[in-house]
Amino acid sequence: MSGVVTTTGQGLVVSGAEEHFNIVIVGHVDHGKSTLVGRLYAETGSLPEGKLEKVQAICRQQGKEFEYAFLFDAFLEEQEQGITIDTARTFFTWKGRQYIIIDAPGHKEFLKNMITGAARAEAALLVIDAWEGVKEQSKKHGYLLSLLGVRQFAVVVNKMDMVGYRQDVFAGIEKEYRAFLQQFGAVPERVIPVSAKFGDNIVYHSQAMPWYEGPTVLDLLSSFKKETASADQPLRFPVQDVYKFDVRRIIAGRLTAGRLRVGDSLLFSPSNKRANVKSIEAFNVEPPPMSAEAGQSIGITLDEQIFVERGEIATHPGNLPHVSTSFKANIFWLGKRPLERKRKYGLRIATKEVECEVVAIHRIIDTTDLNQQQDGTSVNRNQVAELTIRTKSPIAFDIASSFEATGRFVLVDEYDISGGGIVTEMVPDEQESLREEARRRDFSWVKGEVSVEDRAKQYGHRAAVVLFTGGRHTGKSLLARKLEGRLVAEGRHAYLLDGENLRRGLDADLSEEEKGLTAEMARRYGEVARLLIDTGLIVVSTTNPFGLAYREALEAIRTLVHPAPVIAVHVSKTAEEPPPDTDVVLSGPVDLDAAIKQVMEALKHRRVLDESLNAKPTPQYSI
């Protein structure tokens, strides 16, 4: 035995190693994961003084056989039932590396705890009982490791003592399990025969299995490589928050890929805003940093006061994330009730949170037999599935195989994180071409000296479009005129954009047939609205030029003026389903004053009219 173990977990000291490494132990229930960890700690001298003796004494007292697992199964219930309920983090140091061993439960009831453990890991040991062979959870855990992005792992065939240390039994399990892993391209670093109970091939080479010449479990741990965060990839900087504690307006977040330097030009998706990095802010760092790389939690200031918010992803101009409302994904479901199509869930991807629904469940993946496919209308707890998700508004994201952190997400059902998944494919939605147009146009938009925020402060309101939607003869034009009048009377900068004026001027070159095409008309209309928005105006308008195609027009206008808000007001004679995300619904006979009041409230709610625009910053506690 070489190396010096100075430390232990569970209430003991862990020495100062220069490298930390997270390892998760997974596998079917009762295949001996906790025993493996216990043996590893005991034989490397990593247990607290007297801990082993104490647990042994308790066992004698309670008349049960001592098991190494008892060292880590902390809860009374865990010891009484002899199973691990929840993931424990324990620590030990070996050859200058501090290992954080995450002992994950193997019982299928506790799959969410296993996933919690594995999602934190840099490498994994997958334990299979030689006596029982490959079981359901052995396969499920193997598959999930791959889905969770844990690519470094080894298979540990435990309880070799129960099969007389026979090489043929070991070889059979190795062959079967490798064949299973191969179906999704996973390759273990090693397959090691051990007996955790008797200490074979854990820290010391086994005398009972001279036919095995590979590394012990402890040797193997040292051979796992520390994967450095993806600093060499293109930049991904999801915005976590924007702070204004003092004179600095700091964009805070953690780089998930690449590098960022002072002076870099950044693009924010999906808002398409652009600015340069003025400084990297840090507390108690002298001199201030000039660059940062993947993994770091940082804060930056920009040379322009652009409005960006949490959930946007900053990148360099040459390598942008996808932007869409739709993507395909592989997910695992942990929810108390099944995942269903058409239900509303919260989607969280990097720092973005948005409402979403599952539009299609393509197949349920049977992790014990990957060739079998099942169709389904719902996904049950602990199942894995392939599906298409649609979000309420466009989001920036990546494909998980290219960018891990911005390509994986969780689904929230009511209050609970109920599933997780990885993005496998971007699905272009119907707004794709308009979004591309908006992107190209915004990236090369020539700006003056005055920023959008400057204008908002000067005017005391933000720019927006108020769009009255609905069928013919519902009073939309009258409402729009009244609203414009009311806003101007209150000192706001508002303008009534009437579609008829565009038809006679800008659209005069179009044939009557072309004027009937909603898509092109909406595109022109949206681009004009975009220009007016940039002047800081509240643009008031109706969908009159689009007739009954107002839903389609509304979506197109939203895409083109994004990220400026579109406040949609739906007007109808009788109650009817308004377009999605309508702010104000007016049905039946309309009381003009009451209606205008409702729209004004919506403008406040959406922070177009915002008293804080001129307010002083709130004082903060400072030390």
Partner 1 sequence: MKHLRRLEDQSVYILREAYKHFDNLAMLWSIGKDSTVLLWLVRKAFFGHVPFPLIHIDTSYKIPAMIEYRDRLAREWRLNLVVGQNKQALAAGMNYTMGRDVCCTALKTQALKDLIDEKGYTGIILGVRADEDSTRAKERYFSPRDKHGDWDFRDQPPELWDQFKTTFPPGTHIRIHPLLDWTEINIWEYIKIENIPFIDLYLDKGDGTRYRSLGCAPCTMPVKSTAKTVDDIIEELRATTVAERAGRAQDAGRGMEMLRKKGYM
Cβ closer to partner 1: 51 or 190?
Answer: 51
Among 25, 26, 100, 251, binds partner 1 (CB under 8 A): 100
* C-alpha atoms less than 13 angstroms from C-alpha of 397 in its C-beta half-sphere: 34
Q: How far is the CB of 382 from partner 1 (least distance, A)?
A: 12
Q: Is 473 left (phi over 0), alpha (psi -120 to 50) or beta?
A: left
Q: How far is the CB of 189 from partner 1 (least distance, A)?
A: 23
Output Rg (C-alpha) for the chain, integer angstroms. 30
Query: Positive or negative, the Cα torsion across 519, 521, 525, 527?
Result: positive
- In 3D, which of 615, 529, 598, 597 has the Cα closest to residue 564? 529
Q: How far is the CB of 364 from partner 1 (least distance, A)?
A: 20
Q: How far is the CB of 223 from partner 1 (least distance, A)?
A: 19
Cβ closer to partner 1: 44 or 541?
Answer: 44
Among 246, 490, 514, 591, binds partner 1 (CB under 8 A): 246
**Residue 185 within binding range of partner 1, rule CB under 8 A:** no
239: how many CB neighbours lie within 10 A of its CB? 21
**Residue 243 within binding range of partner 1, rule CB under 8 A:** yes
Q: What order of strands is seen across the sheet that includes strand 494-497?
A: 494-497, 538-542, 464-469, 566-572, 584-587
**Residue 621 within binding range of partner 1, rule CB under 8 A:** yes
Whole-Å CA distances, 290 to 280, 326, 558: 6, 37, 38
Cβ closer to partner 1: 284 or 444?
Answer: 284
Q: How far is the CB of 242 from partner 1 (least distance, A)?
A: 10
* Contacts to partner 1 from residues 61-80, by CB under 8 A: 72, 74-77
* Contacts to partner 1 from residues 388-427, by CB under 8 A: 405, 408-410, 412, 414-417, 420
Cβ closer to partner 1: 199 or 295?
Answer: 295
CA angle 293, 284, 276 (to 5 degrees): 45
Q: How far is the CB of 394 from partner 1 (least distance, A)?
A: 20
- In 3D, which of 395, 555, 382, 392 has the Cα closest to residue 465? 555
Q: Exposure pattern of 148-173 as b/e (b: 16+ CB <10 Å)? A: bbbebbbbbbbbbbebebeeebbebb
Cβ closer to partner 1: 169 or 250?
Answer: 250
464-469 and 322-333 strand pairing: unpaired
Asked if 260 and 292 count as a contact pair (C-beta separation under 8 A), the reply is yes
Burial of 611 (0-12, 13-18, 19+ CB in 10 A): exposed
Residue type, 155: V
Cβ closer to partner 1: 297 or 458?
Answer: 297
- In 3D, which of 252, 238, 339, 258 has the Cα closest to residue 300? 252
431 vs 555: CA distance, rounded Å: 8
Q: How far is the CB of 482 from partner 1 (least distance, A)?
A: 37
Q: How far is the CB of 533 from partner 1 (least distance, A)?
A: 28
**Residue 490 within binding range of partner 1, rule CB under 8 A:** no
* Contacts to partner 1 from residues 305-324, by CB under 8 A: 310
**Residue 300 within binding range of partner 1, rule CB under 8 A:** no
Q: How far is the CB of 619 from partner 1 (least distance, A)?
A: 10
Q: How far is the CB of 592 from partner 1 (least distance, A)?
A: 37
Cβ closer to partner 1: 36 or 487?
Answer: 36
Q: How far is the CB of 185 from partner 1 (least distance, A)?
A: 21
419: how many CB neighbours lie within 10 A of its CB? 25
423 vs 62: CA distance, rounded Å: 50
Among 56, 276, 297, 401, binds partner 1 (CB under 8 A): 297
- In 3D, which of 367, 349, 347 has the Cα closest to residue 359? 347
291-293 and 259-261 strand pairing: antiparallel
Cβ closer to partner 1: 259 or 476?
Answer: 259
Quick check: helix, strand or coil at residue 498? coil
**Residue 289 within binding range of partner 1, rule CB under 8 A:** no
Cβ closer to partner 1: 111 or 533?
Answer: 111
Residue 396, token pair as written in the block:
């920036």
DSSP bridge pairs for 302 = 277
* Contacts to partner 1 from residues 37-66, by CB under 8 A: 48-49
**Residue 622 within binding range of partner 1, rule CB under 8 A:** yes
Cβ closer to partner 1: 49 or 513?
Answer: 49
**Residue 221 within binding range of partner 1, rule CB under 8 A:** no
* Contacts to partner 1 from residues 5-24, by CB under 8 A: 6-20
**Residue 254 within binding range of partner 1, rule CB under 8 A:** yes
Mask: binding to partner 1, 325-364, rule CB under 8 A, as x and -? ---------x-----------x-x----------------
What number of chain residues touch partner 1 (CB under 8 A)? 72
Using the rule CB under 8 A, give the single segment among 282-290, 369-377, 424-432, 436-444 that binds partner 1: 282-290
Asked if 262 and 253 count as a contact pair (C-beta separation under 8 A), the reply is no
Query: Which DSSP string corresponds to 103-118?
Result: E---SGGGHHHHHHHH
Cβ closer to partner 1: 14 or 529?
Answer: 14
Among 245, 360, 597, 617, binds partner 1 (CB under 8 A): 245
CA angle 432, 434, 440 (to 5 degrees): 100
Asked if 256 and 237 count as a contact pair (C-beta separation under 8 A), the reply is yes
Cβ closer to partner 1: 114 or 564?
Answer: 114
* Contacts to partner 1 from residues 111-150, by CB under 8 A: 112-113, 115-116, 119-120
Among 52, 59, 66, 86, binds partner 1 (CB under 8 A): 86
DSSP letter at 294? T
